[in-house]
């Protein structure tokens, strides 16, 4: 969902139809910082891949985009090409990646999809500019100048999402929040409630656990995970993230390992600039399209 001040993305955590990942709580969201903006990307369908080697698709997105400081449009076309190469659409048709964020300070929604139809919710947007040479194509959405709330519903649970009128009410509640952080909390609470209800109707394909993430038009943001009872979990984990080509998950893991070798921080901090530069150079920036 996109509003004038925040982009909000949420997903359940179940990898349905993947026996080797039974009980695994997927992330299903990645954070993107491109050359022209920042946002979040999620997906539906791609979890049940054509090959038998299991992997976290959000980490696959990070691998696809690392190494190059691309614009959002270039990044989405790179994901489309990689999805074709990975063969995500071979075993069953209809996979979609959805992006919500900000490009040059303006709200932006786009999808990478092999589906023929999309489910849209809310008012203020319409699909335009469907491009791509392969089965997977990039579809941008034209948003009204004063966007209040607009979104795209993905996956098997999409048909159980409430009518647009109820989602518009949820969007209005978020807009009335005193702060953008409170608005994100309200959206999270509403999604977690909806997801638990949908999971009862589609237990084989939609899990009751959820993860919610958001980013603001001015930058920044956060994410939280929720258990099957709708309670926020203490161990939320790290979102796979790419910042202008830098795989931030790798960087943070390496930084934490470095900090564990240190004692108390000095006046200069936990690490010197030379150590940080060396750490950045050690990161594997080579794109990886296939797992």
pLDDT digit string (tens) for 203-259?
A: 988 999 999 999 999 889 999 999 999 999 976 677 899 999 988 887 777 777 777
Token pair recorded at residue 132:
């791509």
Q: What is the pLDDT of residue 132?
A: 67
- Highest mean pLDDT among 43-47, 55-59, 108-112 belongs to 108-112
Confidence category of residue 48, pLDDT binned at 50, 70, 90: low
Here the tokens at position 246 are: 């830098």
Q: Which domains does the chain have, with CATH numbers?
A: 6-248 (3.60.20)
Nearest to 154 by CA among 200, 107, 114: 114
Q: Rounded to whole angstroms, how far apart are CA atoms 280 and 239?
A: 19
Query: What is the structure's pLDDT at 50?
Result: 41
Contacts of 25 (CB under 8 A, 6+ apart): 13, 207, 209, 225
Range 149-174 average pLDDT: 78
78 phi/psi in degrees, rounded to 5? -65, -40
C-alpha to C-alpha distance for 228 and 197, rounded to whole angstroms: 11
Cα-based torsion angle of the residue sequence 159, 164, 166, 172 in order, rounded to the nearest 10 degrees = 140
With tokens 């299991």, the residue in question is 54
pLDDT at 124 over 50: yes
Report residue 94: phi and psi, to 5°: 95, 65
Q: Which of 166-175, 182-191, 231-240 is most confident?
A: 182-191
The answer to whether 126 and 147 have CB atoms below 8 angstroms apart is no
Mean pLDDT of the chain: 82
pLDDT computed for residue 51 by the predictor: 47
Top pLDDT among 118 and 202 is at 202
Residue 268's pLDDT is what?
A: 55
Question: Above 50 in pLDDT, residue 71?
Answer: yes
Q: For the chain, what's the residue count?
A: 291
Q: Is the pLDDT of residue 120 over 60?
A: no
**DSSP for residue 49:** -
Residue 75, Cβ density class (10 Å: 0-12 exposed, 13-18 middle, ≥19 buried): buried
What tokens appear for 84 in the block?
Answer: 């074709």
Q: What angle do CA 102, 106, 108 make, to 5 degrees?
A: 55
Question: Rounded to two decimals, what is the model's pTM?
Answer: 0.86
Q: What is residue 47's predicted lDDT score, i.e. its pLDDT?
A: 57
87-112 pLDDT tens trace: 777 766 678 899 999 999 999 999 99
More confident site: 31 or 127: 31
pLDDT score of 121: 54
């Amino acid at each position: 969902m996109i509003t004038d001040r925040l982009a909000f993305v949420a997903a359940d955590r179940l990898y349905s139809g993947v026996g080797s990942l039974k009980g695994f709580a997927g992330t299903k969201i990645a954070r993107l910082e491109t050359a022209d903006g920042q946002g979040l990307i999620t997906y539906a369908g791609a979890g049940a891949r054509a090959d038998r080697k299991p992997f976290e698709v959000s980490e696959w997105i990070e691998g696809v985009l690392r190494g190059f400081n691309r614009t959002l449009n270039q990044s989405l076309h790179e994901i489309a090409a990689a999805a074709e190469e990975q063969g995500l659409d071979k075993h069953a048709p209809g996979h979609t990646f959805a992006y919500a964020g900000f490009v040059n300070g303006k709200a932006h929604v786009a999808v990478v999809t092999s589906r023929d139809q999309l489910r849209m919710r809310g008012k203020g947007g319409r699909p335009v500019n469907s491009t791509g040479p392969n089965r997977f194509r990039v579809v941008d959405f034209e948003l009204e100048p004063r966007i209040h709330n607009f979104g795209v519903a993905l996956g098997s649970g999409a048909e159980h999402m409430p009518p647009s009128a109820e989602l518009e009410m949820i969007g209005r509640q978020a807009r009335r929040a005193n702060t953008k952080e409170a608005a994100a909390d309200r959206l999270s609470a509403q999604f977690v409630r909806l997801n638990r209800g949908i999971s009862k109707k589609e237990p084989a394909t939609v899990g009751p656990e959820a993860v919610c993430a958001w980013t603001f038009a001015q930058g920044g943001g956060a994410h939280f995970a929720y258990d099957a009872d709708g309670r926020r979990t203490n161990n939320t984990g790290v979102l796979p993230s790419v910042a202008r080509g830098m795989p931030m998950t790798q960087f943070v893991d390496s930084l934490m390992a470095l900090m564990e070798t240190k004692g108390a921080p000095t006046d200069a901090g936990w690490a010197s600039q030379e150590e940080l530069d060396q750490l950045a150079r050690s990161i594997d920036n080579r794109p990886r399209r296939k797992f």
